[in-house]
Amino acid sequence: MKVYLLHVDRDFDWGAAPPAGREDLIRDLELGTLLQAMAAGDPHLYDISAKVLLASLDDPEAIRYRQQVLADCLARPEVIRHMHAVAVGALEDKRGLWGGYGGSYQNASSNLSGAIGHLEAYVARLRQLRQIADDHGGEFRSDGMRRLFATLRRDLDDAYFDEIGDHLKQLRFRAGVLISARLDRDNSPVGLVLRGPGDTRRRWMQRLGIGPRTTYSFTISPRDEAGGQILADLTSRGINLVANAAAQSADHIGGYFTMLRAELGFYAGCLNLSDRLAARGVPVTVPGPAPLSPVTFSCTDLRDACLALQSADPVVGNDVNADGKRVVIITGANSGGKSTFLRSAGVGQLMMQSGLFVTARSYHASVTRGIFTHFIREEDTGMISGRLDDELRRMSVIAGQIKPGCLMLFNESFAGTNEREGAEIGYQIVRALLDARIKVLFVTHRYALADRFRRQHAPATLFLRAERRPDGRRDYKLAVKDPLPASYGEDLYYRLGGWLDEDKAFTPAAGAATPNGAVNSRLASEIAASPDPPETR
């Protein structure tokens, strides 16, 4: 039996190597929050959700297959959770049994006993699955779920349970073990054959000792340890093949429950996430996956799922239409929602390509062949060189892993140097990515970088700007607007407390800005070149 809930024609490869840049992706997009919501405190669900979320599909049809299964799960959550609990229970039953199997033929008896115990526990759980299929199979509409229930009804019919029940009863050998053999030239037994229980039945006259003798027997003394050991060895050699067959059957059924628990576990995680988002009033939608080309990316009310799970206040969403644009440059005021939007785009892409819903009113995007992040890092004692060197080193690693069709997310990258050098480094790297047919989203304060794309790559570039109200407040909305050469250093100055005493007379030096709510020009330029402070929305 096969599960096939995550792929049309194959099981999910749980042993596959993690995608390149996995740790940076989890850290930069804050995916730990999303995965914790899916896990709901279950470490196994956390691991399962992480593997599926990061192993992105790049085939729109494969994504739609999962979306249909997920729609069924969302419509019948109690059935999915019940089936998942049965699979979990089957594997817990195995751990709770004494004894095991899989040893050499000298331990065939114990191997057989252990395999039978596991099979009996598994059969009880298979009966539960069959009952669920009978009760609820007709309520599901997706190809994946209908095929799963059809398989359970077909392969786990009454005849199957009758047959396996008979086999397990026989394998207990309550009437004893009958083994036939021939004597070799040295009188050692060869050609041992395990006989069925029917061969052990004798006529009533033979059992009463009436009539001619047709069989001969002998009894080993309880004190004959050597004879007992030889007899046990003969028994083990006789039942070795059937013990191996029983062990293989137990492994096969156990493997099915393992796969069922894992694949249903992902959808159970989706149900947990849906409940958390619904409790916070966050909208979700079934995204529309598009082919790799032409480039498509449009959304309405797209929100950062991870922030929505953490924030006590409602999270503001954004409407964007970047269809046909390979580069999106995001500029604007500090704490205006730039980094939040970047994360929402990355998380939304991952959610779509894993078959999940997306936290938006609508979402349509081309699939990608991988997502990479290059976010600004604060200097720490673990760095062996300066921040710019660290940024270039990380970019070099990405360059060796990224390929055409991928998505690259930059957040205040190459800020470890001055305006001119940072802009030039950023431009050359992004241009190389464009030449390699890689889509780029770039949050930056570098006006020189943004303006160069405006002048030289305008047809392929969408410019978004975080707005600032006249009173200095932010609405966390991005608008399609060209970058501005001015910064909002004045706002940051007052947020930091306005350490200049404006009540006192102030005489600016030659070329300095006046104190009517602004800092001097040098401070403003430094603030403009600094990374965003942590955003609250």
For the whole model, what pTM was predicted? Answer: 0.81
Residues 268 and 297 in one domain: no
Domain that holds residue 501: 288-529
CATH code for the domain in which residue 309 is found: 3.40.50.300
Asked if pLDDT for residue 523 goes beyond 60, the answer is no
Residues 163 and 304 in one domain: no
The pLDDT of residue 112: 79
Residues 157 and 99 in one domain: yes
CA dihedral 258, 262, 263, 269 (to 10 degrees): 150
Q: What does the block give as tokens for 528? A: 């403009």
Q: What does the block give as tokens for 256? A: 């099915």
Burial per residue of 265-282, b for 16 or more beta-carbon CB atoms within 10 angstroms, e otherwise: bbbbbbbbbbebbeeeeb
Asked whether residue 154 is domain-assigned, the answer is yes
Q: What does the block give as tokens for 178? A: 């009958």
In the block, tokens 């749980």 appear at 14
The pLDDT of residue 52: 96
Residues 262 and 348 in one domain: no
Asked if pLDDT for residue 310 goes beyond 90, the answer is yes
What DSSP state is assigned to residue 509? P
Any idea which of 168-172, 199-203, 505-509 has the lowest mean pLDDT?
505-509
Asked whether residue 75 is domain-assigned, the answer is yes
| 320, 302 Cβ separation under 8 angstroms | yes
Instruction: Please tell me which of 175-189, 365-379, 427-441 the model is most confident about, judged by mean pLDDT.
Output: 427-441
**H or E, element range at 329:** strand 327-332
Chain Cα centroid distance, residue 367 = 17
In residues, how long is the chain?
A: 537
Higher-pLDDT residue of 271, 250: 271
| 129, 296 Cβ separation under 8 angstroms | no
Q: What does the block give as tokens for 127? A: 């009966």
Any idea which of 113-117, 232-236, 412-416, 525-529 has the lowest mean pLDDT?
525-529
Query: H helices within 477-535, ranges in order?
Result: 489-495, 521-529
The span from the CA of 501 to the CA of 436, in Å, is: 53
Angle between helices 225-279 and 43-54 (to 10 degrees): 70
249 closest CA partner among 152, 115, 124: 115
- Where residue 153 falls among pLDDT bands split at 50, 70, 90? very high
62-74 tens-digit pLDDT: 999 999 999 999 9
What distance separates the 2 farthest-apart alpha carbons in the chain? 132
- Where residue 536 falls among pLDDT bands split at 50, 70, 90? very low
Asked whether residue 472 is domain-assigned, the answer is yes
Asked if pLDDT for residue 511 goes beyond 60, the answer is no
Q: What percent of the chain has pLDDT over 70?
A: 81
The pLDDT of residue 111: 77
451-496 tens-digit pLDDT: 999 999 999 999 999 887 776 677 788 999 999 886 555 555 666 6
Residues 260 and 387 in one domain: no
Asked if pLDDT for residue 364 goes beyond 70, the answer is yes
What DSSP state is assigned to residue 55? S
Instruction: Decide: helix, strand or coil at residue 215.
Output: coil
Over residues 303-314, mean pLDDT: 93
Over residues 247-267, mean pLDDT: 93
Any idea which of 104-108, 177-181, 238-242 has the lowest mean pLDDT?
104-108
The span from the CA of 507 to the CA of 132, in Å, is: 83
278 closest CA partner among 299, 305, 298, 316: 305
Asked whether residue 380 is domain-assigned, the answer is yes
Say which residues have a Cβ less than 8 Å from residue 214's Cβ, sequence separation at least 6: 206
- Where residue 211 falls among pLDDT bands split at 50, 70, 90? low
Asked whether residue 206 is domain-assigned, the answer is no
Residue 522: Cβ within 10 Å count: 11
Point out which residues pair with 442 in neighbouring strands.
Answer: 329, 410
Residues 489 and 410 in one domain: yes
Sign of dihedral through CA atoms 54, 55, 59, 65? negative
Residues 398 and 416 in one domain: yes
Residues 142 and 66 in one domain: yes
Residues 165 and 69 in one domain: yes
Residue type, 13: D
Q: Are strands 439-443 and 407-411 parallel, antiparallel or unpaired?
A: parallel
Residues 310 and 457 in one domain: yes
Any idea which of 121-125, 401-405, 414-418 has the lowest mean pLDDT?
414-418
Give the 3-state secondary structure of 84-149.
HHHHHHHHHHHHHCCCCCCCCHHHHHHHHHHHHHHHHHHHHHHHHHHHHHHHHHHHCCCHHHHHHH
The span from the CA of 84 to the CA of 129, in Å, is: 10
Asked if pLDDT for residue 205 goes beyond 70, the answer is no
Asked if pLDDT for residue 365 goes beyond 90, the answer is yes
Over residues 213-224, mean pLDDT: 72
Domains of the chain: total = 2
- Where residue 382 falls among pLDDT bands split at 50, 70, 90? low
The pLDDT of residue 128: 95
Asked if pLDDT for residue 41 goes beyond 80, the answer is yes
The span from the CA of 394 to the CA of 373, in Å, is: 10
Q: What does the block give as tokens for 196? A: 């069925």
The pLDDT of residue 335: 80
Asked if pLDDT for residue 213 goes beyond 80, the answer is no
Over residues 371-376, mean pLDDT: 94
Asked if pLDDT for residue 94 goes beyond 70, the answer is yes
Backbone phi and psi for residue 65, each to the nearest 5 degrees, phi listed first: -60, -45
- Where residue 526 falls among pLDDT bands split at 50, 70, 90? very low
Over residues 335-359, mean pLDDT: 95
Q: What percent of the chain has pLDDT over 90?
A: 56
Residues 270 and 301 in one domain: no
Residues 267 and 323 in one domain: no
Asked whether residue 534 is domain-assigned, the answer is no
Residue 462: Cβ within 10 Å count: 19
Asked whether residue 195 is domain-assigned, the answer is no
The span from the CA of 462 to the CA of 459, in Å, is: 8
Residue 118: Cβ within 10 Å count: 24
Point out which residues pair with 374 in neighbouring strands.
Answer: 410
Residue type, 169: K
Asked whether residue 128 is domain-assigned, the answer is yes
Over residues 430-458, mean pLDDT: 94
Query: H helices within 439-503, ranges in order?
Result: 447-456, 489-495
Point out which residues pair with 321 in neighbouring strands.
Answer: 298
